[in-house]
Amino acid sequence: MKKIIMSLLSLSLFAGIAVGCTSDQDKTTKKSKESKESTEVTSGASANGYTDLSELEDQYDIVIIGAGGAGMTAALQAKEAGMNPAILEKMPVAGGNTIKSSSGMNASETKYQKEEGITDSNDKFFEETLKGGKGTNDKELLRFFVDHSADAIDWLDTKGIELSNLTITGGMSEKRTHRPADGSAIGGYLVDGLVRNVKEEKIPLFVNANVTEITEKDGQVNGVKVKLNDKETKEIKSNAVIVTTGGFGANKEMLEKYDPKLKDYVTTNQEGTTGDGIKMIENLSGATVDMKEIQIHPTVQQDKSFLIGEVVRGEGGILASQEGARFVNEMDTRDKVSAAITALPEKSAYLVFDQGVRDRAKAIDFYDEQGFVVEGKTIEELAKNFDMPEAALKETVEQWNKDVQAKSDTQFNRATGMDHDLSTGPYYAIKIAPGIHHTMGGVKINTKTEVLKEDGAPIKGLYAAGEVTGGLHGANRIGGNAVADIIIFGRQSGTEAANFASAQK
Q: Nearest Cα to 351, choosing from 370, 327, 378, 335? A: 327
Distance CA 102, CA 308 (A): 8
Which contacts qualify for 445-449: CB closer than 8 Å, 24 or more apart? 445/141, 445/469, 445/471, 445/489, 446/140, 446/141, 447/140, 447/141, 447/144, 447/492, 448/492, 448/496, 449/242, 449/489, 449/492, 449/493, 449/496, 449/497
Distance CA 46, CA 57 (A): 17
DSSP conformation letters of 14-51:
HHHHHHS-TT-HHHHHHHHHHHHHHHTSSS--GGGSPP
Catalytic residue status for 358: no
Residues 6+ apart with CB under 8 A from 253: none
Strands 450-452 and 458-464, bridge-based pairing: antiparallel
Local structure of 256: helix, strand or coil: helix
The residues pairing with 462 across neighbouring beta strands, listed in sequence order, are 241
Strands 458-464 and 233-243, bridge-based pairing: parallel
- What is each CA distance from 100 to 236, 246, 264, 289, in whole angstroms? 30, 13, 21, 25
Q: Using an 8 Å Cβ cutoff, are 447 and 148 in contact? A: no
Marked catalytic residue, from 176, 326, 334, 491:
334
Burial class from Cβ neighbours inside 10 Å (0-12, 13-18, 19+) for residue 263 reads exposed
Catalytic positions are 334
